[in-house]
């Protein structure tokens, strides 16, 4: 929808990405990397009720491209400290929820401004801690800015009274108010953008929060807490705790004063959170709300009538951007039988041109996967793929010190195969032949997930059917299935992909609010 149809979004535009072929941008990024490297080994404390807390036990954040390189030391929270954090957020709720919306909006907008000024710094930490290439890091920082800017503007739409149908003799209105204390659990693969989006959405709507980042990427989250403070969010309005999710996650979710949980991560963890949140605890007086995005097994359909070169490019970029570690990544390419062989003939050399290496250097398309555990899991699926299909290219790890895996493509994968059905979350693509378009749609929908999908076709009837029948939350036509832009592609999926939260869209802030109807007799 155009900005002239959304007055509250006038002036909003997505952040442009820096061109690193320009000498000034490359120099700025190199300086940011050098500065971040000078900060390696810093100790980061918990933040509870506005106070820094040490626990006496720490864990290390490491560089997935150089696993022996310690980036930061973070304190391990306990279940008792998790409970303290929820209670501190609850104590701060009354003041923050009653803070005029204009002040909360200003803090969210200021967060976007600070992130914009510190963009290269965050890029550098995303390279080191999340293993992102320069362009992937730059895109994520831009998305974080967009989330903060968009939600600041959208809160202006929701603040204040809203008109309702007026009953004769009454004056009626609708107002939206904060839910309460929220637990924010962001993922490691977008440790800045998703963290910023979930946290700022909760805060700008008047809630207070406890942030629990992934133990793979806690330093990026700790730096973002500094941004929130600088932007004007009161220290008491957000709390920051790190440590084992298995140890403290249940304490956060199950606490009777937790009102909602905003989670992005795996299906199994999301289901556990939803189950735990649904069980009322002693002294709990509400039904907890869960906002969850839980992954995908995303498909791209390549029809017989399409631009085959564009389809090959879209599939390759969707499958192997950030080493396939995106919930939106294409892991299933479903190809019409008429173009199947031609597609594979073009896909193999395109994938083999993709370079893999330490993303601290700007020339590599793919960096490492996030951890040794992830690497073992992905390599296990690759061995399974060798039994279920024909290895077209890739098929193993790189002989390097980091967690590097070759971009891997399997052809002739059946719909019953594990690598067709199960989320791998790595640089592994399965290619499946469809008899016709009906079969292609059937295969695409044969999944417990329903996050993103794309179709390459020039057949108007097939495109019309895909709009209706391709069962995903985000569908793309004649383009890749990754790269959702805030405001343009509200993001969230169906089925086991979560609660279809539509982050970055006009429905999202409503997930953090509750409506009060007020009628006055006159």
pLDDT at residue 1, rounded to an integer: 37
Task: Tell me the H-state helices in 360-459.
Answer: 372-388, 418-421, 437-444
Structure tokens at 469: 């029948």
Residue 34 CB neighbour total at 10 angstroms? 10
The tens digit of pLDDT for each residue in 174-198 reads 999 999 999 999 999 999 999 999 9
Domain ranges, ordered by start, for the chain = 24-162+174-294+500-521, 298-485
How many whole angstroms separate alpha carbon 71 and alpha carbon 61?
A: 5
Residue length of the chain? 522
CB 466 within 8 A of CB 479: no
pLDDT at residue 4, rounded to an integer: 43
At a CB cut-off of 8 Å and minimum separation 6, what does 5 contact? none
- The residues that are catalytic are 293, 327
- Which of 487, 456, 164 shows the shortest CA–CA distance to 310? 456
How many whole angstroms separate alpha carbon 504 and alpha carbon 118?
A: 22
Separation in Å, CA 78 to CA 59, 81, 135, 212, 276: 13, 5, 37, 12, 19
Separation in Å, CA 120 to CA 25, 34, 374: 9, 11, 27
In the three-class reduction of DSSP (H, G, I as helix; E, B as strand; rest coil), residue 401 is classed as coil
CB 319 within 8 A of CB 452: no
CB 85 within 8 A of CB 255: no
Query: What percent of the chain is predicted at pLDDT more than 70?
Result: 99
How many whole angstroms separate alpha carbon 480 and alpha carbon 425?
A: 17
Residues of the chain with pLDDT under 70: 1-7
At a CB cut-off of 8 Å and minimum separation 6, what does 380 contact? none
The tens digit of pLDDT for each residue in 31-42 reads 999 999 999 999
CB 62 within 8 A of CB 70: yes
Domain 298-485, what fold? Aldehyde Dehydrogenase; Chain A, domain 2 (3.40.309)
**Phi and psi dihedrals of 22, rounded to 5?**
-80, 130
pLDDT at residue 10, rounded to an integer: 78
Structure tokens at 184: 């924010």
- DSSP β-bridge partners for residue 263: 185, 292
**Radius of gyration over alpha carbons of the chain, in Å?**
23
Structure tokens at 449: 């997930």
How many whole angstroms separate alpha carbon 452 and alpha carbon 381?
A: 22
Whether this prediction's pTM lies above 0.95 is answered by yes
**Phi and psi dihedrals of 208, rounded to 5?**
-110, 160
Q: Check for a shared fold between 24-162+174-294+500-521 and 298-485.
A: no
The tens digit of pLDDT for each residue in 11-37 reads 899 999 999 999 999 999 999 999 999
How many whole angstroms separate alpha carbon 16 and alpha carbon 27?
A: 18
Neighbouring C-alpha atoms within 13 Å toward the C-beta of 252: 35
66-75 and 58-63 as β-strands: parallel, antiparallel, unpaired? antiparallel
pLDDT at residue 29, rounded to an integer: 98
Identify the architecture of domain 24-162+174-294+500-521 in CATH: 3-Layer(aba) Sandwich (3.40)
């Amino acid at each position: 929808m155009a900005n002239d149809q959304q007055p509250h979004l006038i002036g909003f535009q997505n952040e442009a990405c820096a061109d690193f072929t320009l000498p000034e941008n490359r120099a700025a990024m190199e300086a940011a990397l050098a500065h971040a490297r000078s900060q390696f080994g810093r100790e980061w404390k918990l933040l509870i009720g506005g106070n820094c807390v040490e626990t006496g036990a720490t864990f290390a954040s490491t560089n997935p491209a150089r696993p022996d390189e310690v980036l930061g030391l973070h304190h391990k929270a306990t279940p008792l400290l998790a409970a303290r954090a929820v209670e501190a957020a609850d104590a701060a709720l009354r003041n923050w929820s009653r803070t005029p919306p204009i002040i909360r909006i200003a803090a969210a907008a200021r967060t976007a401004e600070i992130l914009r000024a510190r963009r290269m710094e965050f890029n550098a930490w995303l390279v080191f801690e999340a293993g992102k290439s320069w362009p992937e890091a730059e895109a994520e920082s831009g998305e974080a800015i967009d989330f903060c800017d968009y939600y600041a503007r959208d809160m202006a739409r929701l603040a204040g009274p809203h008109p309702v149908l007026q009953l004769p003799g009454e004056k009626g209105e609708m107002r939206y108010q904060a839910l309460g204390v929220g637990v924010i659990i962001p993922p490691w693969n977008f440790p800045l953008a998703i963290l910023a989006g979930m946290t700022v959405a909760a805060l700008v709507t008047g809630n207070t929060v406890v942030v629990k980042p992934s133990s793979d990427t806690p330093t990026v989250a700790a730096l973002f807490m500094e941004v929130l403070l600088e932007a004007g969010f009161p220290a008491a309005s957000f709390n920051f705790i790190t440590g084992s999710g298995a140890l403290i996650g249940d304490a956060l979710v199950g606490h009777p004063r937790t009102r909602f949980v905003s989670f992005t991560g795996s299906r199994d963890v999301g289901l556990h959170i939803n189950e735990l949140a649904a069980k009322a605890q002693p002294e709990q007086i509400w039904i907890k709300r869960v906002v969850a995005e839980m992954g995908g097994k995303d498909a791209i359909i390549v029809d017989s009538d399409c631009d085959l070169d564009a389809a090959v490019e879209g599939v390759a970029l969707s499958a192997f951007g950030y080493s396939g570690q995106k919930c939106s990544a294409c892991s299933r390419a479903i190809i019409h039988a008429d173009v199947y062989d031609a597609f594979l003939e073009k896909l193999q050399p395109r994938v083999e041109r993709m370079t893999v290496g330490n993303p601290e250097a700007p020339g590599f398309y793919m960096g490492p996967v996030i951890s040794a555990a992830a690497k073992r899991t992905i390599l296990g699926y690759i061995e399974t793929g060798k039994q279920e299909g024909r290895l077209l290219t890739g098929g193993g790890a790189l002989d390097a010190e980091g967690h590097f895996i070759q971009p891997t493509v399997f052809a002739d994968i059946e719909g019953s195969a594990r690598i067709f059905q199960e989320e791998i979350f790595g640089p592994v693509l399965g290619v499946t032949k469809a008899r016709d378009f009906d079969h292609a749609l059937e295969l695409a929908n044969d999944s417990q997930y329903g996050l993103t999908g794309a179709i390459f076709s020039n057949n108007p009837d097939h495109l019309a059917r895909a709009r209706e029948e391709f069962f995903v939350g985000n569908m793309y036509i004649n383009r890749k299935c990754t790269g959702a832009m805030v405001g343009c592609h509200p993001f969230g999926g169906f089925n086991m992909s979560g609660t279809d939260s539509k982050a970055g869209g006009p429905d999202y802030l409503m997930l953090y609010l509750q409506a009060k109807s007020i009628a006055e007799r006159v």
